[in-house]
Amino acid sequence: MKVLAPKPAKGSFNKDRRISDLVKSQLSHMHEAERKLPPHHQTGQKIESIKTEGQASEYIRQITERLHGKYVVKVPKPPRSAFNKRRQMSDLLKSQVEHFNHVEMTWPPEKRSGTDIAKVTTEHGAAAYIGKITAMMHGTGGEKMTPVREALAASPKRAVKAKKKLTKKR
């Protein structure tokens, strides 16, 4: 989330001016936040050494970047075999579906998806349901997502039939 602030009046910032008590207080708060960062993200700068608005501005900028995650962690893409539409969902996925359903049940009835989670039995059904609820929570609605009822149609029984057909053809 980006916070928009009005641009300060011209001449209100002087990089060589001594810092005020208000800025000292802000530096103290930023230093407390910095101390909670992992050691490799800390600047190691002592705030007592900051004397000018320019130095304070630079320190606040550095800490703000580190607090708000300028550093992006790259997550490798899982292998194709990691997801199987027709595979029965694991206990972990089942638990996640239940948690999402618990959240959904706190919403007004007209805002709910209307999905019966007892019918969500496959990884595809779980992914569709979790994706839909996540989109609704973020206000995007999830209109372009796979409808949950289509994902539910891809049941494990159909997977068994498809597998039998493949083995007969060989």
59 and 125, same structural domain? no
**130-162 pLDDT, tens per residue?**
999 988 887 766 555 555 655 555 555 554 554
| Domain contains 72 | no
pLDDT greater than 50 at residue 166: no
Sign of the C-alpha dihedral, residues 80, 116, 102, 139? positive
| 8 Å CB contact between 154 and 120 | no
153 and 103, same structural domain? yes
Phi, psi of 88 (to 5 degrees): -55, 140
151 and 112, same structural domain? yes
**38-58 pLDDT, tens per residue?**
888 889 999 999 999 999 999
- Look at the chain and report how many structural domains it folds into: 2
Length of the chain: 170
132 and 106, same structural domain? yes
35 and 62, same structural domain? yes
Structure token digits, residue 80? 């194709």
Structure token digits, residue 15? 């990089």
